[in-house]
Amino acid sequence: MIQKIDIHLHPNADDKNMDGYLMIMDKHNVEAGLLHGMEEKGWANWGFKYGTPSDAVVKAVKAHPKRFYGTACVNFLDGVDKVVDKIKKYGDQGLIGIKLFPNLGFDPNDDKYEPIWQEVEKRKMLVFSHCGWLSPNEKNPSMRIASIGYASPFHFEVPARRHAKINFIFAHFGGGATYLETLVLTSRLKNCFADTCPGWGKWVWENDMPGLKTMYRTQLLYGTDNAGENYGQDDSWWTGKLLSYGFNDNDIHMYFHVNSAKILGIVE
């Protein structure tokens, strides 16, 4: 059974402190996971009766230190001051990064967001961004949603270049239509990474999209969106897929464990 770190998890309102999910992780040799808060004002009814999804992340991290690490969900449309205040609030409670969702209506490359990046860097936090396709907003089905323009890796190039000490992680491999942006940034900037979380993160590999063989082994991360009992299937599927791309055993160990362990500070 492969030793793993899952870089892409979310809290579950029906699983207090993620106690149940931790049992699944133990069963499948998942050493640790990075939990991400979810957008608070809409999109879906996450089921959290008390507090926000980010508050649930804090509780799980405190209940299971060194097993769960966490990020707070932020929306830059709330304004720079409110986002910085949220970073301070949750950073003081032990979270190690921010999760951007949804990426609609703003460009992270815009200079007006520089105070946010400065606060993130000062606190030695990471940035984890949803990329690519956005599901409909369940609470506002008529909301205008366009994948093009905001939720892709190149829209983080400016802060990633300016702030080399911040690790930027592109979820879902940067999106199905924009995965090439992921390949470019991860090959040029050592602080840019991508997870292979379903759907598009796995889709690009399932379909053997052009250019994937050039993916830098040190920048690829294992993430699942809560795989649960399917971790065992991932062990075999991803091992076979990466071997077909010329990865060796050490490369595969880096993908499943070492790369994320370094980002989380578990190993140097």
Domains in the chain, CATH or no CATH each:
4-264 (3.20.20.140)
pLDDT along the chain (268 residues), means of 10: 97 94 98 92 67 91 98 95 98 98 90 98 97 81 76 94 98 95 98 96 97 98 97 97 97 98 94
Burial class (CB in 10 A: 0-12, 13-18, 19+), 259: buried
Give Cα separations from 51 to 38, 55, 56, 85, 201 (angstroms).
12, 6, 7, 17, 30
Ranges of beta strands (E only) in 101-255 are 126-129, 168-170, 192-195, 220-221
Closest CA to 6 of 214, 178, 235: 235
Report the distance separating Cα 40 and Cα 44, nearest Å.
Answer: 9
pLDDT for 266 = 96
205-210, long-range: CB within 8 Å, 24+ apart, which pairs? 205/173, 205/241, 206/241, 209/179
Closest CA to 226 of 1, 24, 60: 24
Q: Which neighbouring-strand residues pair with 68?
A: 33
Q: Residue for token digits 């699942």?
A: 224
pLDDT for 202 = 97
Q: Token pair for residue 149?
A: 């323009």
Q: ∠10-11-12 over CA atoms, to 5°?
A: 120
pLDDT for 139 = 78
- Which 8-state DSSP code applies to residue 226? S
Mapped onto helix, strand or coil, the DSSP state of residue 138 is coil
Diameter of the chain measured on Cα atoms: 48
pLDDT for 50 = 65
pLDDT for 42 = 65
For the chain, how many residues are written?
268
- Note whether 28 and 34 are within 8 A (CB): no
